[in-house]
């Protein structure tokens, strides 16, 4: 039987959410250069970010919250999360798919959940999530306000002890290449994991239509193992 959210079929809900994304993606495909000699011109990261963010900004708070609840249901079915003892997660911001339902469910399972703390240089420190009353709203200059753990700081290397790292993003392609916001925070996290020889499962949380044909990638970009959306799980095979 299809999953429901407060009596509404997830598929019915998503028909309402997906229409602006379909229009965005169709427009993006029309703008891409045709394939020549086996090589395809890629869209620039900045342009793709702006388009996806513009669509996300059109979602209501109810859209984001309901999508987050559906996404949590899908994510909690992952074997990786079922077996995890420590998960590095994040609290969603703006039009990102809501993550608090998932974070709360993981904690209720007895999972140790780490949340990021943004540092002045855009690197990430980490703190343990002990419930919603442990979160503090922190304004970072003129950039954004984030919900961050208010307890002890564990250091940037704390993420290397995670079994699963849940990453924010704007899009992912069939290679597992993830498009982030461009601040570089999670590039540093992934580089830190590689230097430490840590091999957690990397999972990006997105809307369904943000799983796209191709994301522009650079040499330092690292692929993820899976993407979870409100309607399912997409698995990749990073090299």
Q: What is the pLDDT of residue 182?
A: 82
- Structural contact between residues 230 and 14, judged by C-beta atoms closer than 8 angstroms: yes
The yes-or-no verdict on residue 42 having pLDDT over 70 is no
- pLDDT-derived band at 16, boundaries 50, 70, 90: low
Q: What is the pLDDT of residue 239?
A: 54
Q: What is the pLDDT of residue 46?
A: 87
Instruction: Report the run of H or E that residue 112 belongs to, with start and end.
Output: strand 112-118
- pLDDT-derived band at 171, boundaries 50, 70, 90: very high
The yes-or-no verdict on residue 201 having pLDDT over 70 is yes
* Tokens, residue 153: 């700081």
Q: What is the pLDDT of residue 189?
A: 97
Which 8-state DSSP code applies to residue 212? Answer: -
Inter-CA distances, 13 with 10, 110, 115, Å? 5, 31, 29
Residues in CB range of 217: below 8 A, 6 or more apart: 175, 177
The yes-or-no verdict on residue 8 having pLDDT over 60 is no
Q: What is the pLDDT of residue 38?
A: 31
Q: Which residue has the tokens 């994304």?
A: 21
- Structural contact between residues 203 and 210, judged by C-beta atoms closer than 8 angstroms: no
Q: What is the pLDDT of residue 6?
A: 38
pLDDT in tens, 100-125: 999 999 999 999 999 999 999 999 99
Share of the chain above pLDDT 90, in %: 66
For the segment 184-193, the average pLDDT, to the nearest whole number, is: 95
pLDDT in tens, 144-156: 889 999 999 999 9
- pLDDT-derived band at 238, boundaries 50, 70, 90: low
- Supply the mean pLDDT for the chain: 84
The yes-or-no verdict on residue 71 having pLDDT over 50 is yes
The yes-or-no verdict on residue 57 having pLDDT over 50 is yes
Beta-bridged to residue 148, according to DSSP, are 136
Domains of the chain: 4-235 (3.40.50.10420)
């Amino acid at each position: 039987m299809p999953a429901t959210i407060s009596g509404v079929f997830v598929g019915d809900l998503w028909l309402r959410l997906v229409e602006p994304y379909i229009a965005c993606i169709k427009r993006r495909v029309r703008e891409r250069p045709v394939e020549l000699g086996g090589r395809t011109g890629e869209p620039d990261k900045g342009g793709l970010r702006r388009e996806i963010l513009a669509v996300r900004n059109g979602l209501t708070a109810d859209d984001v919250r309901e999508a987050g609840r559906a996404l949590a249901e899908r994510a909690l079915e992952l074997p990786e999360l079922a077996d995890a003892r420590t998960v590095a997660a994040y609290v969603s911001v703006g039009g990102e798919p809501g993550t608090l339902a998932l974070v709360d469910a993981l904690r209720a399972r007895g999972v140790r959940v780490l949340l990021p703390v943004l540092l002045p240089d855009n690197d990430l420190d980490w703190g343990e999530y002990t419930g919603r009353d442990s979160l503090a709203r922190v304004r970072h200059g003129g950039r954004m306000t984030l919900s961050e753990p208010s307890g002890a700081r564990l250091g940037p290397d704390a993420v290397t002890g995670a079994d699963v790292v849940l990453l924010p993003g704007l899009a992912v392609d069939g290679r597992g290449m993830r498009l982030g916001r461009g601040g570089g925070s999670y590039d540093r996290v992934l580089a830190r994991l590689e230097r430490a020889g840590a091999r957690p499962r990397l999972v990006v949380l997105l809307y369904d239509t943000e799983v796209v044909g191709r994301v522009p990638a650079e040499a330092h970009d690292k692929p993820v193992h899976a993407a979870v959306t409100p309607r399912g799980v997409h698995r990749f095979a990073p090299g």
